[in-house]
Copies of this chain bind each other. A is one copy, B any other.
Amino acid sequence: MRIAVDIMSGDAPAEELLKGALKAHEDFKVEIVLVGAEEIVAPYADTENGIYTAFSKSVVEMTDDALAAVKEKTDSSMAIGAKLLKNGEADAFVSPGNTGALLGAATLTVRKIKGIRRPAIASIIPLEKPFILLDSGANTELLPENMLQFAYMGAFYAEKVFGVESPKVALLNNGTEETKGTELYRESYKLIKNSELNFVGNCEGRDIPFGFCDVLVCEGFAGNVALKLIEGMGKFMSNQINGLFRKNIMTKLAYLLTRKGINDMRKKLDHKEYGGAPILGIAKPVIKAHGSSDARGFYNAIKQAKVYAESDIIGRIETSIAKIKEQSKDVRGDLNATAVSEAD
């Protein structure tokens, strides 16, 4: 197992991410390809022990236009990592960079699974009980068929990473009734309900933190807002708790008395706990690490990459595509039944 890691494209300095990568190499017994500027990565090359290097000459910035970056920055750490994966010189690729550009590199260089229209970013969120949110930012304009594919891909991933059989799949919505939401959501509801998945219905915002489902399906706009809002609320609470205990000597004493519980609580709010989100629908394992990853977040993203690459998730998606397509046709066909019978 060899994982290519882009240490240049995150918000944190390359040295910080390098630290996380080296620790992951040691702890998970995986080979690592450090992709970055020569002067940073060259000193760490140790091919006998499975640490390889690949030199990049540019960096995709967070503010770069995604498509332009993919087309023009062909010597960037992101582009080189994607090429290593494509050419079989790595089994997985992890990057903390510009989401749109990474999605572009994954789609154009590594390529999508045949039959998958849109890849989705599948984020794992801790809270009461961890769940997968997809799409959490790749696509803002979708068809119900894409949402059904997301539901299947998310369920396959959840089975693997959470070790649950028949994971509970829900649709994010602005109410529980099946008539709620936009047309996209109403149609997606019908498709997923009529699939073989364990569909538990619509999930409202207020139910998200409480283990309503294992897989939460939505388009990327609402998904991204929800993902970042959960992150923001976690940070807000963390700040509040810090302030609470820092007030005076008595509150500092209170901190000592509750420290263990506070740490457990922080874990439930910490998105770095699962540092990486797979881009599901791509033919090989690409993991988007959080843009603000520190060494620990990057380390956890590499852990995700290993789990994903060792699994049969991509194979299962490939073999299920035809069936998913049929199910989608059946239901959409029913919807047009009137038109068809008139033509008879």
Q: Which of B141, B224, B244, B245 contacts A205 (CB 8 A)?
A: B224
Given contacts A225-B226, A236-B127, contact A247 B261 (CB under 8 A): yes
Please determine whether A232 and B207 come into contact, CB atoms closer than 8 angstroms.
yes
Mask of A163-184 contacts with B, CB within 8 angstroms, 1/0: 0000000001011010001100
Please determine whether A244 and B262 come into contact, CB atoms closer than 8 angstroms.
yes
Max count, chain B CB within 10 A of own CB: residue among A231, A243, A257: A257
A253: interface (CB < 8 Å): yes
Given contacts A244-B265, A257-B250, contact A235 B206 (CB under 8 A): yes
A338: interface (CB < 8 Å): no
21 contacts between A and B (CB under 8 A): A137-B174, A174-B220, A204-B225, A204-B228, A205-B227, A205-B230, A205-B231, A207-B232, A209-B232, A210-B232, A210-B236, A226-B229, A229-B230, A233-B233, A241-B265, A243-B261, A244-B262, A245-B258, A250-B257, A251-B261, A254-B254
Q: Is the interface of A mostly helix, strand, loop or mixed?
A: helix
A222: interface (CB < 8 Å): yes
Please determine whether A174 and B233 come into contact, CB atoms closer than 8 angstroms.
no
Please determine whether B258 and A232 come into contact, CB atoms closer than 8 angstroms.
no
Residues of chain B contacted by A336 (CB below 8 angstroms): none
> A234 to nearest B CB, angstroms?
8
Residues of chain B contacted by A258 (CB below 8 angstroms): 244-245, 247, 250-251, 254
Q: Which of B174, B208, B250 contacts A224 (CB 8 A)?
A: B174
Given contacts A206-B228, A227-B205, A233-B230, contact A221 B261 (CB under 8 A): no
A268: interface (CB < 8 Å): yes
Given contacts A240-B268, A261-B244, contact A221 B254 (CB under 8 A): no
Residue of B whose beta carbon sits closest to that of A65:
B179
Query: Copy number of this protein in the oligomer?
Result: 2
Residues of chain B contacted by A49 (CB below 8 angstroms): none
Residues of chain B contacted by A207 (CB below 8 angstroms): 232
Interface residues on A, range: 35 or more
Max count, chain B CB within 10 A of own CB: residue among A220, A233, A268: A233
Residues of chain B contacted by A253 (CB below 8 angstroms): 254, 257
| A234 to B262 alpha-carbon distance, docked (Å) | 16
Residues of A109-143 whose CB lies within 8 A of B: 127-128, 137, 140-141
Residue of B whose beta carbon sits closest to that of A249:
B257
Residue of B whose beta carbon sits closest to that of A261:
B244
A337: interface (CB < 8 Å): no
A63: interface (CB < 8 Å): yes
> A258 to nearest B CB, angstroms?
5
Please determine whether A237 and B235 come into contact, CB atoms closer than 8 angstroms.
no
